[in-house]
Homo-oligomer: A and B are copies of this chain.
Amino acid sequence: MPCLTGGQLDELDDLVNAEPPLWRMIRDSLEAALAAGEYPAGTPLPSEAKLAARFGCAIGTVRRAVDELVAARVLVRRQGRGTFVPDIDAMARQGPEGQDRTAFYFFHIQPENGARVLPETELLDFRASIPCPAWIAGHLGLAPRSPVIFARNLHRIAGSPVLLDDLWLPKSLFPGLDRAGFAGRDGTVYGLYQRRFGHSVIRTDERLRAVAAPAEVACALGLDPGAPVLRIQRLAFAIGERPVELRISHADTRHHEYFNSLA
């Protein structure tokens, strides 16, 4: 057993008992409410003045808490209107000519010349409920053989196939999602998750490798089997660090590239 002096004990005590600043508790409280599904994408949060009254603090303290959530892309402010959970597809629909950069926040494949265009998507396969393979379950935090939804999408850019996506979703998080609902969505996949199930994706972890194209991938992308392709394994998290989707993608990077800017 380690021997601690009184001073060290006091420090330990401080570390344990030190309560976080007020703005942080408010931030966490707000994030928990958002994760629980209050204030879905369309509806504004209570005004800053009302939140301040509710939490019994100054308005500046609420602003500080909201600032953090805005920085984390959990919320957006609109002057004169209110504070909202961002509508994922609204970002993509932004302007008529130049789509907003935020539309590409979760889509990193672009032509090598740098011109960004959103791809056309074709649904190749859909399974409404299959037992989850063990290694997938691990990433999603599920028990092996839990029911999952599987989908396979082919993305074309300017007509040529570039990206093949395999999606794995915990069935419990997407009750009632069938092929028609998935294929007939209006907007992006993440927009569907948000509008219909309240899962707002705000973070993704991606792991990239160069691999020899598996037969299925090569076939779908029109490549020779064994050609080098970019394999992207993405885990998507909704507000509150809840994993909602595991995606395995293979990209043909002969004329496209994966772009990542770290600021």
Contact = CB atoms under 8 A, between A and B. Distances in A.
Interface of A: 71-73, 105-106, 112, 202-212, 228-231, 251, 253, 257-263
Given A71-B71, A210-B210, A253-B210, A259 B229 contact: no
B260 A260 contact: yes
Contacts of A207: 112, 257-260
A233 B231 CA distance: 17
3 smallest CB-CB distances across A and B, nearest first, come from A228-B228, A210-B210, A209-B253
A257 B73 CA distance: 26
A195 to B, nearest CB: 21
Contacts of A204: 261-262
Main secondary structure of the interface of A (DSSP, over half): strand
A212 B230 contact: no
A15 to B, nearest CB: 16
Contact of A208 (B71, B73, B203, B208): B208
Contacts of A257: 207-209
Nearest to A228: B228
A206 B260 contact: yes
Nearest to A250: B210
A102 to B, nearest CB: 12
Contacts of A258: 207-209
Given A105-B262, A260-B260, A230 B202 contact: no
Given A210-B253, A228-B212, A262 B203 contact: yes
